[in-house]
Structure 1
Amino acid sequence: MNLRLTDVTLTYPDGDARLTALDRVCLDVPGGSLAAVTGPSGSGKSSLLAVAGTLITPDSGTVTVAGTDVTALTRAERAVLRRRHIGIVFQQPGLLPSLTAAEQLQVMARIDGRPARSARGRAMELLASVGLAGSAGRRPHQLSGGQRQRVGIARALMNDPAVLLVDEPTSALDRERGAAVVDLLTRLTRERGTATVLVTHDRAHLPAADRVVEVHDGRLRPAADHEAPLPRPARPAPASPDR
């Protein structure tokens, strides 16, 4: 399972001209690895995630998810592929306030037409994997910011995606909880063999990545000070799972 962008160019209308958001971008993320994407605001990071997630079709180039050329599919076919093979973790989890943590996950399976019983079992398994087995019956207002973000990660994994796209998951968290979320993403990437792309402004999280790239003016390049995989820094023992 992998994600591959090849010579991807994306432009937007800008008055009488066009603004180039992505300029011949190439990115290859094998299954089981995590690529961190950094860069200044407005550089093209969000556009890269939108194209990788099949939410936007590029002007040119190809996007391949788990061996399928997404750009050759119809809109309906892309929607099915996205639902079954791509998990997206947003900057804000966007949990439904009336649903428990377990129900947030089960909704994803029901949308895909899976039986309720198997969806419940899958939800409980994933909540346990992110350290929230004891919080399955809690609603969002009963969870901390870090817990809500972990529910969002578990929800993105509900349909066992080949690709996991994560947008600034630690922006609203303190450093300790942010580090715990990135550690969790790294572990789940290895265990589940997903091709994970993490967009982050926080350079403290970059050592967790197998590869670090920067986006500048729509172009992708190796991060100047992180051209090779970095060793993981020592961190204090994690807090209790339901923190």
Structure 2
Amino acid sequence: MSLTLDDITLTYPDGDGRLTALDGVGLRVPAGTTTAVVGPSGSGKSSLLAVAATLVAPDRGRVLVGGTETGALTSAERAVLRRREIGIVFQQPNLLPSLTALEQLQVMGHLDGRRQVSLRARELLAEVGLGDLAHRRPHQLSGGQRQRVNIARALVNEPSVLLVDEPTSALDRERGTAVFDLLLRLTRERATATVLVTHDRARLGEADAVREMRDGRLGTPVAVPGAE
């Protein structure tokens, strides 16, 4: 299932006028591919993710998850679509301190009324390399391990779209590389349409496409040195 943003414009109140956060943005991400989005702070990257996640409605344009135009849905229907079809990996893991790694995933599955979520949660933790750490709480995990729990939690409901916000910003290069590689692998294996906002240009050559945001506009695909 692909993700499509078609001619998206988003504005916010700014004094007596309005500030344009997104200006005619168009983006299509096929299933099983990763599009990396780069750009300076304040360029509109976070707004792009918020609109793609259906958390913010644009002033103009369409967001399609597969063949579903999300703007035509009620707020309740969009909430269901987010829960079932859109996984979000936040910059900070925001794990619940009292829950184990396994329980972090189980909560997400139970919210969607899924059965046998414990088995799926264990499988996902093993897939991200944390099978032996399922019963550890966040304070017992490293920063890279917490981010892996964050990724697994976003995938527990088998989303078709994965939105990732600066997943390596708080990690050193070695752990950041491991998380980046993990996201690329899971995208291919699970056929998600992944949008990865990142400031780290070192691994961009491994993404399927790279787009740069400036002043609310999304440029044409960027050529990355070292990419084939």
The number of aligned residues is 228
Name 1:235's counterpart in structure 2. none
Letter in structure 1 aligned against 2:147: Q
Q: Kindly state the Cα deviation for residue 207 of structure 1 after the two structures are TM-superposed.
A: 1.4
Letter in structure 1 aligned against 2:151: I
User: Which residues of structure 1 form unaligned runs of 5+?
Assistant: 232-243
Kindly report structure 1 stretches of 4+ aligned residues shifted beyond 4 Å: none
Letter in structure 1 aligned against 2:201: R
Q: Kindly state the Cα deviation for residue 72 of structure 1 after the two structures are TM-superposed.
A: 1.1
Letter in structure 2 aligned against 1:230: A
Measured against aligned partners, the alpha-carbon deviations of 1:179-237 in whole angstroms (never above 9, x if no partner) come to 000000000000000000000011112112100000000000135443x9924xxxxxx
**C-alpha separation in 2, matches of 1:155 and 1:214:** 28
User: Secondary structure at 2:219's aligned position in 1?
Assistant: strand
Q: Residues 138 and 45 of structure 1: is their aligned pair in 2 closer, same or farther, counting only changes over 3 Å?
A: same
Name 1:230's counterpart in structure 2. 227
User: Secondary structure at 2:81's aligned position in 1?
Assistant: helix
Measured against aligned partners, the alpha-carbon deviations of 1:117-154 in whole angstroms (never above 9, x if no partner) come to x1100000100110110000100011000000000000
**C-alpha separation in 2, matches of 1:217 and 1:229:** 27
User: Secondary structure at 2:136's aligned position in 1?
Assistant: coil
**C-alpha separation in 2, matches of 1:216 and 1:209:** 20
Name 1:234's counterpart in structure 2. none
Q: Percent identity?
A: 71
Is this contact kept in 1: 2:209–2:222, CA < 8 A? no
Name 1:135's counterpart in structure 2. 133
**C-alpha separation in 1, matches of 2:21 and 2:203:** 25
Measured against aligned partners, the alpha-carbon deviations of 1:74-129 in whole angstroms (never above 9, x if no partner) come to 111110100000000000000001100000000001101123xx110000010011
Letter in structure 2 aligned against 1:90: F
User: Secondary structure at 1:204's aligned position in 2?
Assistant: coil
**C-alpha separation in 1, matches of 2:226 and 2:216:** 23
Name 2:150's counterpart in structure 1. 152
User: Secondary structure at 1:47's aligned position in 2?
Assistant: helix
Name 1:36's counterpart in structure 2. 36
**C-alpha separation in 1, matches of 2:43 and 2:201:** 16
Name 1:123's counterpart in structure 2. 121
Is this contact kept in 2: 1:182–1:208, CA < 8 A? no
Correspondence 1:1-243 to 2 at 5 A:
1-115=1-115, 118-222=116-220, 224-226=222-224, 230-231=227-228
**C-alpha separation in 1, matches of 2:43 and 2:227:** 24
User: Secondary structure at 1:152's aligned position in 2?
Assistant: helix
| RMSD of equivalent CA atoms | 1.2
TM-score by length of 1: 0.92
Is this contact kept in 2: 1:89–1:166, CA < 8 A? yes
